[in-house]
Amino acid sequence: MTLVPAALKRRTRAETAIDAAFAAVRADLPGAGRSEAFARFATDGLPHRRIEAYHFTDLHTLVTAAPEPARRPSPEVARATALAAGVDAFAAAGAARFVLVDGWFCPDLSDLAGLGDGVSVSSVGAGLLGGRQLAGRGLDGLGERLADGGAAADPLVALACAFYTDGVVLRVAPGTRMARPLEIRHLASGASVSAHVRHLIVVGDGGAAEVLETHASPDGVEIHAHGLTEATIGAGATLSLVDRQCEGDQAMRFSTLAVAVADDAVLDHTVVTLGARLARTQVFARLGARTQLTSRGATLVRGRAHADATLVVDHVGEDAVSRELYKSAVDDEARSVFQGRIRVDPVAQGTDGRMGAHAVLLSDRAEAMAKPELEIFADDVACAHGATVGALDDALKFYLMSRGIPAAETEKLLIRAFLGEVTDAVASEPVRAVIEADVEAWIDGRERSA
């Protein structure tokens, strides 16, 4: 086999479209580092299966087109979009609301009041206005989280850094607790566009923040939604992050969280994947001493959807505890992928890491791949991982049916029970209720019974 230099490889239709899009929008986009970021993407293009991190999610073949970057929606379009999107599920959580349409912040649709003293929310778009330098415009620290670890080299991160238009900057002062959660609500106008959003979350030492993110778009429209969240959790601080992905059935969603958790800090992370034809959620977490990371995921996919959750958890301090539990229910011809790597630095003695990935296949043609890995360079650690893939247990089905519960209802009970291990662990009652309703709606939407 001869190796073709990457740069000389023939560009796919999607890659050609991305190249052209960048050339077209480059001049209009403020902010530093875009060309460098794009160069990182362009060298190798969309990652294919021979790139280990993309072995099961070959974007080179799965991404066949690249819609134009979205323009800022008019106020009328924004209002109509919000109206069409209907009731905000997280309203019951009493959250402040930062609304984006096609990746652009819409202040008129947002409600940022009452977050409390010491909590500031602004838009990345406003920070970018009027200058190419990030510092001094409210964007200080953007990009810092990408300096190390896998995020720096990731092509989806590079794309987000090249194209981003807007996003949230949330800063919580040291010792401050947010008075209400912040919801980031991503809506889509229905145009087939690419949206690129970048968020910055900085929780000061001893602070506490709660962020609820919802991604929604209509069925039948191919949008490409890129998101990159960079978060810094200060010493002893707490961040709770919920990422609820309800994209339409033709959407492609790529989300990356790059987070540094300082000593004694806590990150509680929940991802619910309910939609999109192609979804990839990446987490790059760097854990300091005595930190606690919980990352849990529920993936519910049907049709021909492909959903990927890829985690890289880097223990770089002593005595940190990390718990990752990802569960997928996979129906029809859908596919779920889990890749998780716990890396334990030589200094990270006393690390306690546990990672589990479990999938239940609800049809003969459903597929699930799980690849949990441990890379341990310290000797005094307790790390474990496990993965299972299988159908619903016939013995359990029979037991439930033998008590009179019909086949279809039996499956519902068992799917709910399977995902319950993830959903039950969501601490906030109103948030848990939203997620449970999502799961319920998905289960009710299964067309086939037994």
Partner 1 sequence: MLEITNLHAEIESEGREILRGLDLVVKPGEIHAIMGPNGAGKSTLSHVLAGKPGYLVTEGTATLDGVDLLGLDPAARAAAGVFLAFQYPVEIPGVGNVTFLKAALNAQRRARGEGEISTPDFMRLLRGAAGRLEISQDMLKRPVNVGFSGGEKKRNEILQMAILQPKLCILDETDSGLDIDALKVVAEGVNGLRSPDRAFVVITHYQRLLDHIVPDFVHVLAKGRIVKSGGPELALELEAKGYADFAEEAA
Tell whether residue 444 is a contact of partner 1 (CB under 8 A). no
Burial 262-276 (b: 16+ CB within 10 A, else e): bbbbbbbbbbbbbbb
| Structure-block tokens of residue 385 | 């991982």
For partner 1, the closer CB: 68 or 421: 421
Shortest CB 353 distance to partner 1, Å: 23
The three-state secondary structure class of 330 is strand
Shortest CB 450 distance to partner 1, Å: 9
Task: Please give the angle made by the CA atoms of 296, 300 and 301, to the nearest 5 degrees.
Answer: 135
Q: Determine which residue in the list 6, 20, 91, 417 makes contact with partner 1, applying CB under 8 A.
A: 417
Tell whether residue 425 is a contact of partner 1 (CB under 8 A). no
For partner 1, the closer CB: 74 or 449: 449
Shortest CB 141 distance to partner 1, Å: 42
Shortest CB 362 distance to partner 1, Å: 16
Burial 20-59 (b: 16+ CB within 10 A, else e): ebbeebeeebbbbebeebbebbbebbbbbeeeebbebbbb
Rounded to 10°, the helix 34-44/13-25 angle is 170
Shortest CB 398 distance to partner 1, Å: 6
For partner 1, the closer CB: 394 or 429: 394
For partner 1, the closer CB: 6 or 417: 417
For partner 1, the closer CB: 408 or 427: 408
Tell whether residue 420 is a contact of partner 1 (CB under 8 A). yes
For partner 1, the closer CB: 52 or 424: 424
CA separation for the pair 301, 274 (Å, rounded): 6
For partner 1, the closer CB: 55 or 323: 323
What does the per-residue mask of binding to partner 1 show for 89-128, with x meaning CB under 8 A? ----------------------------------------
Cα dihedral 274, 267, 195, 65 sign: negative
Shortest CB 327 distance to partner 1, Å: 11
For partner 1, the closer CB: 406 or 445: 406
Shortest CB 338 distance to partner 1, Å: 20
Within 376-415, the residues that bind partner 1 by CB under 8 A are 394-396, 398-407, 409-410, 413-414
Tell whether residue 416 is a contact of partner 1 (CB under 8 A). yes
CA separation for the pair 229, 14 (Å, rounded): 24
Burial group, residue 379, by CB count within 10 angstroms (0-12, 13-18, 19+): exposed
Shortest CB 302 distance to partner 1, Å: 21
Q: Determine which residue in the list 104, 105, 164, 418 makes contact with partner 1, applying CB under 8 A.
A: 418
For partner 1, how many residues bind (rule: CB under 8 A)? 22
CA distances from 63 to 57, 59, 281, 287 (A): 10, 5, 16, 33
Shortest CB 404 distance to partner 1, Å: 4
> 49: which residues sit within 8 A by CB, 6+ positions away?
55, 56, 58, 60
Within 4-33, the residues that bind partner 1 by CB under 8 A are none
Within 136-155, the residues that bind partner 1 by CB under 8 A are none
Phi-psi region of 355 (alpha: psi -120 to 50; beta: other; left: phi over 0): beta
Within 287-346, the residues that bind partner 1 by CB under 8 A are none
For partner 1, the closer CB: 158 or 325: 325
CA distances from 398 to 277, 408, 439 (A): 33, 12, 23
Shortest CB 296 distance to partner 1, Å: 15
User: Residues 237, 205: contact at Cβ < 8 Å?
Assistant: yes
Tell whether residue 421 is a contact of partner 1 (CB under 8 A). yes
Shortest CB 441 distance to partner 1, Å: 19
For partner 1, the closer CB: 5 or 404: 404
Q: In what order do the strands lie in the sheet with 367-376?
A: 119-123, 168-172, 194-203, 224-233, 252-261, 278-287, 306-315, 335-344, 367-376
Q: Which of 225, 227, 187, 189 has the alpha carbon at shortest distance from 69?
A: 225
For partner 1, the closer CB: 213 or 411: 411
CA separation for the pair 73, 207 (Å, rounded): 35
Beta strands in 84-135 (DSSP E): 96-101, 104-105, 119-123
The residues that touch partner 1, with contacts defined as CB under 8 A, are 394-396, 398-407, 409-410, 413-414, 416-418, 420-421
